[in-house]
Amino acid sequence: MSRDNPVCLGPDHLKNRSTNLVGKSTSCYPSLSVDGRATGVVSHVGAVVLLRAAERAGLTGALSDALAPWRKPLASHDPGKIVLDIAVALALGGDCLADVGLLRAEPGVFGPVASDPTVSRLITTLAADASKALAAIDSARASARAAAWAAAGQHSPGHGIDADHPLIVDL
């Protein structure tokens, strides 16, 4: 796990956590609170469920670690968070890189979001070595997926699946 970016930690961060970290956020995204005052309405707050699931499965930390080789020395935005922000923008209905602006409009929910030029530069950098970048992203996704299925236990889609009991998908 990368210690260069202690904010985006994976699922193993709790095992080695010291008491002086208690109370500090381990999320790339701000903490939220809910009240009944009917002010501060956020239109895309449903994406928080998606982000918290990604955090619990370790996707935020895994992407941060996997894409660390592409991080510029003085960069203020983590490539893993940028890629996750793009994915969230797509989940919210976006269809191009500029749609990360949906997240940028709500810094209290999504934290600091990279500018369009920064996103574009990262994608250009990743595309220059596409096979390595895709392998890194695939590795992070596989790690998070394995953690999610392990956490799901008997409710996992792959629970009890083997050669004698194959998974059957009825289309």
Highest mean pLDDT among 42-51, 99-108, 123-132: 123-132
Give the C-alpha separation, 24 to 168, whole Å.
Answer: 44
Tens digits of residue pLDDT in 15-29: 443 444 444 556 677
The answer as to whether 85 is a domain residue is yes
Q: Per the domain annotation, does 6 fall within a domain?
A: no
Distance of CA 96 to the CA centre of its chain: 18
Q: How many domains does the chain have?
A: 1
- What does the alpha-carbon distance between residue 139 and residue 62 come to, in Å, rounded to a whole number? 8
Quick check: is 120 in a domain? yes
4 vs 65 pLDDT, higher one? 65
In tens, the pLDDT along 117-149 reads: 999 999 999 999 999 999 999 999 999 999 999
Terminal-residue alpha carbon distance, the chain: 40
Comparing 12 with 105, the larger pLDDT belongs to: 105
| Residue at 67 is within a domain | yes
- Residue 109's closest CA among 54, 151, 47, 156? 47
Q: Is residue 166 part of a domain?
A: no
Kindly state whether residue 2 falls inside one of the protein's structural domains. no
> For 151-163, how does the pLDDT look when each residue is reduced to its tens digit (9 = 90+)?
999 998 888 888 9
The single-letter DSSP state of residue 22 is T
Whether 156 is in a domain gets the answer no
Across the range 70-95, mean pLDDT stands at: 94
pTM of structure: 0.74
Alpha helices, DSSP H only, in the chain? Answer: 47-56, 59-66, 79-91, 101-104, 107-110, 116-128, 130-152
Range of the domain at 123: 11-32+45-151
